């Protein structure tokens, strides 16, 4: 399979450039440091640690995944190496899939080692250990990494220069993290009840969970007891997983369409 060859090369490049080791060190230091610091200064409760970690993890993983992927295709287009790559028996679809698989392997290994290093500390030191919730936290952290890695490659395929792909990624993250909630708040407070744009509490809860980070975080709350609030359960956990999968597949599909119709 041609995409597999591209994925292997992409992963090997990350190993040779020490990107894999740098990302792994980042997540180990962050996760292990958080577990040790929380246990020392607060308490040795798994649920307390996971509640505190949710916010920082939801920021660190998406930002890291986007930084690790946003030049994956646009960088090769800008340097001209994409012409050499496509002169081999590879299609543009192979390039997109291969980049997603290769970069996902890097991100998933780094996040997995980070989460497991903290987990080892928790199981060795903490007095109140909830293995099921910690496992759920680990699984959804990996899902978050996978979704944003796929999104990053898809966004990279939209642009033919690294500067443009960086702007696209920054705009994407800003729109979903800050602008989207603001838009919903403005619409909710400026429309009347009989307006077609009126946002009932249920509609607003659902729309608030459209961004991938919110969908995955709230889905985790539905499957585990961490931050399991009534607001978190406003939307079915299975619907939220469908939303996450839609981001996982949809952005790369759009990126591939643009990449496939562009002259090199």
* Span 247-261, pLDDT tens digits: 999 999 999 999 888
Q: What is the average pLDDT across 108-134?
A: 91
Examine the pLDDT at 78 and tell me if it is beyond 60.
yes
pTM of the complete model: 0.91
Confidence band of 97 (pLDDT split at 50, 70, 90):
very high
pLDDT for 194? 58
Read off the tokens for 81: 């190496």
For 218-228, write each residue's pLDDT tens digit: 888 888 755 44
Domain count of the fold of the chain? 1
For 154-195, write each residue's pLDDT tens digit: 999 998 889 999 999 999 999 999 999 998 888 877 776 656
Examine the pLDDT at 197 and tell me if it is beyond 80.
no
Confidence band of 45 (pLDDT split at 50, 70, 90):
confident
Structural domain containing residue 212? 2-260
Work out whether the CA dihedral 222, 134, 213, 232 comes out positive or negative: positive
């Amino acid at each position: 399979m041609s995409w597999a060859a591209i994925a292997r090369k992409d992963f090997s490049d990350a190993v040779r450039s020490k990107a894999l080791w740098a990302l792994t060190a980042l997540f180990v230091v962050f996760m292990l440091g958080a577990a040790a610091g929380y246990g020392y200064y607060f308490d040795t409760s798994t649920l307390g640690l996971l509640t505190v970690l949710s916010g920082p993890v939801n920021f660190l993983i998406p930002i890291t995944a986007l930084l690790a992927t946003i030049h994956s295709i646009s960088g090769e287009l800008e340097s001209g190496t994409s012409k050499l790559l496509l002169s081999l028996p590879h299609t543009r679809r192979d390039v997109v899939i291969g980049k997603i698989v290769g970069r996902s392997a890097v991100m998933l290994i780094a996040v997995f080692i980070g989460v497991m290093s903290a987990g080892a500390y928790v199981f060795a030191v903490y007095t109140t250990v909830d293995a099921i919730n910690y496992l759920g936290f680990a699984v959804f952290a990996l899902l978050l990494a996978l979704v944003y890695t796929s999104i990053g490659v898809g966004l990279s395929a939209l642009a033919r220069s690294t500067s443009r792909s960086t702007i696209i990624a920054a705009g994407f993250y800003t729109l979903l993290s800050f602008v989207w909630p603001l838009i919903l708040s403005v619409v909710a407070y400026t429309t009347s009840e009989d307006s077609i744009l009126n946002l009932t509490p249920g509609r607003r809860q659902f729309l608030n969970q459209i961004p991938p980070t919110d969908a995955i975080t709230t889905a985790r709350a539905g499957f585990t007891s961490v931050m399991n609030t009534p607001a978190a359960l406003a939307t079915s956990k299975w619907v939220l997983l469908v939303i996450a999968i839609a981001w996982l597949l949809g952005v790369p599909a759009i990126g591939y369409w643009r990449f496939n119709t562009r002259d090199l």
